[in-house]
Amino acid sequence: MTAAAAIGRAVRGRQDTGGRAGPLKAAERRAGILFSLPVILLTGAFLFLPIIQTFYYSLTTWDGITATWIGLDNYRQLFSDPVFWRVLLNNAFLLVSIPFAILIPLVVAFLLHQHVPGWRFFRSVYFLPTAISWVVIGMVAVRFFAQRGILNDLLGALGPSSLRTDLLTNEYTAMLAVILTFIWSMFGTNTIIFITGMATLDHDVYEAARVDGAGSLAILRFVTIPLLMRFIQFAFILTVITGFTALFSLIFVMTTGGPGYGTTTLEFFVYQKAFAQGVFGYAAAIGVVLFVIVFAISLAQLRLLRSRED
């Protein structure tokens, strides 16, 4: 009887402890929500509320003070505007350049991870563009691509003067100059992301691949890239967001959106319509289209990566 009573008391004690744990967990949950509430409110006030307001103003004629509801008229006007489709083509050019902004840093990071001679020095040099503002990058790019720039000086030294050209005075070559500058500006950031990712990989996997006779290219393709997919995903989304929403300063300094609309992106188009022409409702509609495009690209990339993992 004594043993049975002791067992019974132990069981009841555990049950009582479990019963007390329920209110304790509920109290911890309430405390967590309470402490998170200021962050949620601030995030809503500075992020979600402006997004909702942008959607609303895109359905109005808004001069910055008063807004009049017009429904979908801004979108109808936008999608019938040939300039909009020209600007959208510029964004498509940027999108096509993103694989190069990912692949080149990935290969360089792989070489640095192999500790090639001078890898510490090159790692520091490659990171330098990350510490430079877009304005400075734009000024350097103008000095490089202009008629009397460094590129033409090099071409003149290597061949006849007919090779010299001002890339910034033609619509398509100006866009090419912007794209090359964009790829270079993202080089340091993506290289550091991939070097960081490779530092987390198990070296035994590389040793096993080398024992099986795999070369450097095979290791990069069949070992490194599959194991770095999360880092590649992060670099891709970061590069897309940068290319579509963070190049205003670069384009303003290099070309101011010209010649014509040759380097005008959707982000720069918003500025032109809102602050140069004062049609804020129309500019809000452009911003909504930009938001949808970036969101759709990011979502498609996430689903593609998830399907590969499955």
pLDDT tens string 227-237: 898 899 899 98
* Burial 104-141, CB ≥16 within 10 A → b, else e: bbbebbbebbeeeeeeeeebeebeebeeeebeebbebb
Number of Cα atoms under 13 Å in the Cβ half of residue 138: 16
| Helix 229-245, helix 82-113: angle, nearest 10 | 140
Number of Cα atoms under 13 Å in the Cβ half of residue 211: 6
CA atoms of 251 and 268, how far apart (whole Å): 8
Q: Which CATH superfamily is domain 81-309 in?
A: MetI-like (1.10.3720.10)
Q: Return the pLDDT at 310.
A: 59
Task: List, in order, residues 6 or more apart from 216 with CB less than 8 Å away.
Answer: 110, 114
**Where does the pLDDT of residue 223 fall: very low under 50, low under 70, confident under 90, or very high at 90 and above?**
confident
Maximum average pLDDT range among 15-29, 101-115, 205-219:
101-115
Q: How many CB atoms lie within 10 A of CB 304?
A: 11
Beta strands in 146-281 (DSSP E): none
CA atoms of 175 and 169, how far apart (whole Å): 10
Q: Are 237 and 300 in contact (CB under 8 A)?
A: no
CA atoms of 274 and 62, how far apart (whole Å): 10
Task: List, in order, residues 6 or more apart from 175 with CB less than 8 Å away.
Answer: 90, 93, 262, 263
**Where does the pLDDT of residue 21 fall: very low under 50, low under 70, confident under 90, or very high at 90 and above?**
low
CA atoms of 49 and 299, how far apart (whole Å): 22
| Rg, Å, the chain Cα set | 27
Q: Return the pLDDT at 180.
A: 94
Global pTM? Answer: 0.81
Q: Tens of pLDDT along 232-285?
A: 989 998 999 999 999 999 999 999 998 889 999 999 999 999 998 889 999 999
Q: Tens of pLDDT along 143-191?
A: 899 877 888 888 777 766 666 777 888 888 899 999 999 999 999 899 9
Q: Return the pLDDT at 209.
A: 81
Q: List the one residue out of 248, 282, 266 whose CA is nearest residue 87.
A: 266
In the chain, where the domains are located: 2-57, 81-309
